[in-house]
Structure 1
Amino acid sequence: MSEWVIRLIEGGGYWGVAFLMALENIFPPIPSELIMGIGGIAVARGTMTLVPLLIAGTVGATLGNYALFLLADRLGYERLKPFVDRWGRWLTMDWNEVERASHFFRKHGGAVVFFMRFVPMFRTVVSIPAGLSHMSHMRFLLYTAAGAAIWNLVLVQSGRWAGMAFSEAEKYLGWATIAVVAATLVYYFWRVFTWKPTEN
């Protein structure tokens, strides 16, 4: 998997990074840890530059999250509820959980958007309650971009260090990413098969 991402990043450059980061935040086929980590390796090798890479990754992540935010903002509670009721098992959530998450979000607002950027399984999901609560678009974009920039900088610098320390860093990064993806899938299917709706 890492070889494909490496070729896409090398071929697409900063646009490729922005595209992958946007895609990762809409439908996560490739973790941002791999995308930005390999970008960091490219910085260590001199084929990419830190600041443009960081900007591309942050813009892509912000736009990907904003797409989900707009969807939830436009749909609203009434049109989203039938969808959750029908597909709750595969989403591993029911409407009571959506309402609790939305209440928590309305109470804590922007801080939730910012800090969830550092939590792999929730960095995308947080866009939905933000949209449902009709958070200010500008606030959402600012908090998302700030959190994404910090997280991306950590990932790039980690990849950069790995690229300077190990000659085959991308190979190890690829295997580590496969292990994380596999563990995430196992956890997801365990949630699906053990999930039960909450009581009212």
Structure 2
Amino acid sequence: MWATAADGAGAAEGLGGLVGAAAQVIENLGEWGVGAFTLAETVVPPIPSEVILPLAGYLAKQGSLNLGLIFVTSTLGAYLGALLLYWLGAKLGLERSIRGLSKLPLVDREDFEKAAGWFTRHGRSSIFFGRLLPGVRSLISLPAGAAAMPLLTFSVFTLAGSALWNGALIGFGYLLGTQYHLIEGYSKYLNYAVYAALAVALAWLVVRRVKRAKADR
């Protein structure tokens, strides 16, 4: 029988700091909340699936979430987010889409240009393999929509790539769930790693923005 959130309530309590807070939010939102996270991550890349999905897998191992359902909802969320960007690219065209979305906080035009270049070089296969590459995964849908890729082809490659990526991250967290005592003991080091990664990412984005602003003068 599938587990429910009530069966393993409190599984996130052993984790402290930012990791523990994220786990608590995921536990409270449930399986459909995980899907909402992946949808948001697809549209707003700085939200990291590399943190959210392993935690969801870990909570599934503890009995707080259903493993099969978080796989389905996360893949569905990723697809709906990709579909939104595909529609935006088809409706506005690549240049107008990039110009508008690059104004979002912590998003840089260079990220969109990298995704567009990847699509130009690799065609429809970029939709599948692009889902496995940070910096490309979330944005590859824009050039696909702008190039009028057939929706069925786009959907099949997007669902396959997203399922592979999400399944790997969720499975990793699920396997770690067998080592609860290790995760509990080392959660503070996980927090340090997350804080450091966020600080480096933020600094890198700020430096890039400053360099681009100087180049545009």
| TM-score, scaled to structure 1 | 0.80
2:151 counterpart of 1:150: no
Q: Which amino acid aligns with 1:21?
A: T
Contact 2:115–2:135, Cα closer than 8 Å, also in 1: no
What CA deviation, in whole Å up to 9, does each residue of 1:45-73 have, x standing for no partner? 12223221111111111111211111111
Give the CA deviation at 1:194.
2.4
Question: Which residues of structure 2 form unaligned runs of 5+?
Answer: 1-17
Alignment partner of 1:133 is 2:147:
yes
Number of the residue aligned with 1:22: 39
Distance 1:173 1:150, change over 3 A: farther
Q: Which shows bigger deviation, 42-51 or 58-67? A: 42-51
Letter of the 1:60 counterpart: G
* CA-to-aligned-CA distance 1:149-179 (integer Å, 9 cap, x gap): 1111111121122221242637354443333
Larger deviation: 1-10 or 26-35?
A: 1-10
Q: CA deviation at 1:91?
A: 2.8
CA RMSD of aligned residues (A): 2.8
Q: Tell me if structure 1 keeps the 8 A contact 2:45–2:135.
A: no
* Structure 1 residue 48 corresponds to structure 2 residue 62: no
1:26 to partner: Cα distance: 1.0
The one-character-per-residue Cα deviations of 1:8-43 (angstroms, maximum 9, x if unpaired) are 322221111011110111113531011111111112
Which residue number corresponds to residue 59 of structure 1? 76
Structure 1: runs of 5+ lacking an equivalent: none
Residues matched between the structures, number: 190
- Which protein has greater RCO, CA pairs closer than 8 Å, 6+ apart? 1
**Against the structure 1 CA distance between its residues 78 and 25, is the aligned structure 2 distance closer, same or farther, given a 3 Å change threshold?**
closer
Which residue in the other structure is 1:8 paired with? 25
Q: Counterparts of 1:110-189 in structure 2 under 5 Å?
A: 110-167=124-181, 169=183, 171=187, 172-189=189-206
Offset of residue 101 of structure 1? 6.0
Which region of structure 1 is more displaced relative to structure 2, 174-183 or 48-57?
A: 174-183
Tell me how far apart the structure 2 counterparts of residues 151 and 79 of structure 1 sit (CA, whole Å). Answer: 29
CA distance in 1, matches of 2:95, 2:48: 32
Letter in structure 2 aligned against 1:111: S
Identity of aligned residues (%): 32
CA distance in structure 1 between the aligned counterparts of 2:117 and 2:193, rounded to whole angstroms: 36
Q: Could you tell me whether the CA contact under 8 Å between 1:102 and 1:129 is conserved in 2? A: yes
8 Å Cα contact 1:92-1:192 kept in structure 2: no
- Runs (4+) of structure 1 exceeding 6 A deviation are none
